[in-house]
Every structure is written in structure tokens, then in C-alpha cells.
């Protein structure tokens, strides 16, 4: 075997220079420079510690209370009826039903978290049908939280052209009140229930031109007569007074004297008398009263003369 005897090159030894100084990562507030030792990594500094101020802690605001919503439906039993054509030509039914709900709730209630003071109406169905009655509202037999408003096609067909839009909306608002109002477990006077519906219609600016402030026989005559009386109470005792009347019908049976005294400090007959004093006297009404007084005085005079002659 042959062995290579040629000389081999000697290894060259290199001396490494020390590592140059490095700048450590710092926060945006301060910068520091550190020099690493040979063969050691440069440590990263901790970020500056700041104590959070209590005022800087973000809090999530509570959502603003909103009125409840419900499903709205429409049924028309006869699209060929003249009243159906008048209705759909003068009503944007989806918008108008929603507007009626908003009007009623905004006048009768203040929204709260949960809205437990508002009836839990789940749906309102408008039923357009041929019937003699102008309109009425009822709850469905299986579930009273589902309401139905029945509106006469015959009546709709007779509305004067200039009044069609406002009259249709006025009736919808009146009937929508019956879907959302309280009634003292069915013990409240019917005249008060109907009067509150027309009060809301009055406040919504949808009163028809034939409504007039008159002197009916009793305070719960109903409809616009009681509606004007309730409007007077709202003016005398402040905004929200009829809202209080409605909410007072929520959990108790109706006791007339206790009911009104607890709300306004007076019996309803006292309030009614004060209201009637603000109403205009009908033409001839004062003359009749004066004539009766004169007749009574003349009768007294005649009686005295007869006694003298005796």
C-alpha cells in the first residue's frame, strides 16, 4: 500500500471581534441602549406600567327602552267591493297600521325595560268585510293576545272623497286603542273605554269635522263626548293624566268614586260639573232656563195674592 507523503497546509486561526452594541426594543415613551456581553442575547425591556384611571374604563350604556311591536295582517273578504277599492286607493296599509300602533302606544304609555305595563299584544289583523256596523275590535277566542279589527266596506265606500285618508286612519287609530288599552278586568264603563279611544284620535289630530263640544247627559256618554272630557282633564291636570287613567285600569276592578279620587282628588261628577261650566251654552238653552225661573217667580207671586184675598 502506498502512503501519501506530500505536505498538508496548516490551519489558519481567526480571532472573532466582539459583538457591536445593540439597541433594545422599547416603548414609544422611552428608549434605552444596552450592550450585550460576548455570546449573550440582548434582553428585551418590559413595557412601562401605568395604573388605569377609573374614569377611563369604558362602560356599555343600557339600551334605550322601546315600545313593543306585533305582527300586522290584513284580510279582505271581497276585493271587488267598492269599499275595498276606496280603502286600498287611499291607504298605504302597512305604513298606516304601523303608524296607528305607534300613535296609540306613544299617547297611552311610556316605554320601559320589559314593558310589563303594556298589554302583550302579539298580532293585530285588520279584517275588511261587508257589514252594517262601522267597526269593532275583539280578541281571538283561542288567544286574546291576538286581536282583530273589523272594518265595514260599506262605510268605507260612503266616505266623502276629501275625507277618505283621514277618516280611514282615524277609525284605525280608534280601534287600535281597543287592542292596547286596559279595562279593569272588564269592569270599566263602556263610555270610558270608547271615550279613551276617541281621546287618542283627538290627540292624533284625526278628529272628524262633525265633532263638537256639547253638553251630553252624563260624563260617560262615550265616544267624542267623553273624549273631550278626558282632553279637558289632560289640560287641567297636565300631560300624561289620561295615561295614568289607563294604567290605573290595569290591575284593579273599577270603583268609580275611589278611582277618580285617587287620581285627581275629586269624584268624577265634580270633575264633570267643572268641565260643563267651560262648555258653550246651546242657542236657546239659557233662554229656556230663564223662562222657567220667571215662571216659578210668577207662580209664587200668584200664590201670595191668593192667600191675601182669602
pLDDT tens digits, 113-144: 899 999 999 999 999 999 999 999 999 988 99
Among 40-49, 54-63, 223-232, 250-259, the least confident range: 54-63
Helix axes 164-180, 190-203, angle to 10 degrees: 130
Asked if residue 4 has pLDDT above 60, the reply is: no
Q: For residues 58-66, give the mean pLDDT.
A: 75
* Helices assigned H by DSSP within 140-204: 153-158, 164-180, 190-203
CA atoms within 13 A on the CB side of 276: 12
pLDDT tens digits, 17-46: 555 554 444 444 444 444 555 556 666 677
Residue 66 burial (CB count, 10 A) = 11
Confidence band for 189, pLDDT divided at 50, 70 and 90: very high
Residue 31: all three cell numbers together: 428608549
Q: For residues 223-252, give the mean pLDDT.
A: 97
SS3 198: helix
Tell me what pLDDT residue 136 has: 98
Q: Which residues fall within 8 angstroms of residue 77, CB to CB, at 6 or more apart? A: 127, 128, 129, 130, 153
Could you write out the DSSP letters of every residue in the chain?
A: -----PPPPPPPP-PPPPPPPEEPP--SS---EE-PPTT-PPPPPPPPP-PPPGGGS--PPPPPP-----EEEEEES-TTSHHHHHHHHH--HHHHHHHHHHHHHHHH----SS-TTS----EEEEEEE--SSSEEEEE-SS-TTEEEEEEEHHHHHHS-GGGHHHHHHHHHHHHHHHHH---TTTTS-HHHHHHHHHHHHHHTT---TT------SSTT--HHHHHHHHHHHHHHH-TTHHHHHHHHTSSS---HHHHHHHHHSS-HHHHHHHHHTTSPPPTTHHHHHHHHHHHHHHHHHHHHHHHHH-
Confidence band for 55, pLDDT divided at 50, 70 and 90: low
Which has more confidence, 189 or 301? 189
Percent of the chain with pLDDT over 90: 67
Is the overall model pTM greater than 0.85, yes or no? no
Tell me what pLDDT residue 3 has: 47
- Mean pLDDT rounded to a whole number for the chain: 84
Cell 277618505 -> residue: 164
Tell me what pLDDT residue 59 has: 65
Which has more confidence, 250 or 60? 250
Amino acid at each position: 500500500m502506498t502512503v501519501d507523503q506530500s505536505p498538508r497546509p496548516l490551519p489558519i486561526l481567526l480571532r472573532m471581534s466582539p459583538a457591536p452594541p445593540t439597541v433594545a426594543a422599547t416603548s414609544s415613551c422611552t428608549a434605552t441602549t444596552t450592550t450585550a456581553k460576548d455570546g449573550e442575547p440582548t434582553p428585551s425591556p418590559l413595557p412601562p406600567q401605568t395604573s388605569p384611571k377609573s374614569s377611563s374604563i369604558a362602560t356599555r350604556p343600557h339600551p334605550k327602552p322601546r315600545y313593543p311591536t306585533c305582527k300586522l295582517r290584513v284580510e279582505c273578504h271581497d276585493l271587488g267591493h267598492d269599499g275595498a277599492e276606496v280603502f286600498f286607493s287611499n291607504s298605504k296599509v302597512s305604513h298606516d297600521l304601523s303608524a296607528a300602533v305607534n300613535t296609540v302606544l306613544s299617547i297611552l304609555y311610556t316605554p320601559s325595560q320589559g314593558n310589563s305595563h303594556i298589554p302583550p299584544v302579539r298580532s293585530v289583523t285588520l279584517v275588511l268585510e261587508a257589514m252594517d256596523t262601522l267597526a269593532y275590535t275583539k280578541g281571538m277566542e283561542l288567544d286574546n293576545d291576538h286581536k282583530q279589527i273589523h272594518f265595514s266596506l260599506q262605510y268605507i265606500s260612503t266616505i266623502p272623497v276629501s275625507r277618505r285618508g283621514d277618516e280611514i286612519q282615524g277609525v284605525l287609530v280608534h280601534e287600535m286603542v281597543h287592542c292596547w288599552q286596559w279595562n279593569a278586568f272588564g269592569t270599566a264603563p263602556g263610555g270610558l273605554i270608547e271615550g279613551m279611544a276617541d281621546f287618542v284620535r283627538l290627540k292624533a289630530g284625526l278628529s272628524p269635522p262633525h265633532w263638537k263640544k256639547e253638553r251630553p247627559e252624563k260624563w260617560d256618554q262615550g265616544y267624542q263626548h267623553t273624549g273631550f272630557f278626558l282632553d279637558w282633564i289632560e289640560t287641567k291636570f297636565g300631560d300624561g293624566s289620561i295615561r295614568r287613567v289607563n294604567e290605573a285600569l290595569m290591575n284593579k276592578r273599577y270603583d268609580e268614586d275611589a278611582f277618580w279620587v285617587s287620581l285627581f282628588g275629586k269624584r268624577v261628577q265634580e270633575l264633570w260639573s267643572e268641565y260643563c261650566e267651560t262648555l258653550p251654552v246651546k242657542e236657546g238653552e239659557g233662554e229656556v232656563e230663564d223662562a222657567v225661573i220667571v215662571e216659578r217667580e210668577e207662580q209664587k207671586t200668584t200664590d201670595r195674592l191668593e192667600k191675601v184675598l182669602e
